[in-house]
Amino acid sequence: MWWIQPQEIADKDGNGTGRWRMTAKSDEGGGGPFGDVSHDHASAEESQACEQCDEFVNGVAGFPSRKAEVERRAKSREDRMRAALEEIAAWDCFMYPGNKENIVEIAKKALAE
């Protein structure tokens, strides 16, 4: 199992420095903690919000980053919307309530954009 969490950076004597880094650690032989040593943060919350940290630790653990997951979900929603519009565009005739324009034409316009 992987633990992804912020950890306070320690000095050579093991004392906290007040600087933070996101880390990934495994209890199944994966080792760690692993953190992106190219930078650190003033707080645990700041390190958790850092896109670079998120990509690094999730890459170590083999998980998608938050950004990749958001993009995947957006693509999935876009694909479902496109499929629905294509289905509507294939209908012969259907009037959208309250609108004189045929919903098929609306769908065709949306697909053309």
For the segment 37-86, what is each residue's pLDDT rounded down to a tens digit? 999 999 999 999 999 999 999 999 989 888 988 888 888 888 888 888 78
Q: Domain range holding 78? A: 72-112
Per-position b or e across 6-36, b if 16+ CB within 10 A of its CB = bbebeeeeeeeeeebbbbbbbeeeeebbbbb
Are 59 and 91 in a shared domain? no
Do 88 and 49 lie in a common domain? no
Same domain, 53 and 92: no
6 preceded by cis ω (within 30°)?
Answer: no
Token readout for 13 is 């004597």
Find the mean pLDDT for residues 14-24: 95
Q: Do residues 56 and 93 share a domain?
A: no
Q: Are residues 40 and 80 in the same domain?
A: no
pLDDT at 50: 93
Residues 97, 56 share a domain? no
pLDDT tens column, 81-101: 888 878 777 765 555 566 556
**37 plus 82 within the same structural domain:** no
User: Is residue 77 domain-shared with residue 53, that is, in the same domain?
Assistant: no
pTM for the full predicted model: 0.61
Q: 54 and 10 share a domain?
A: yes
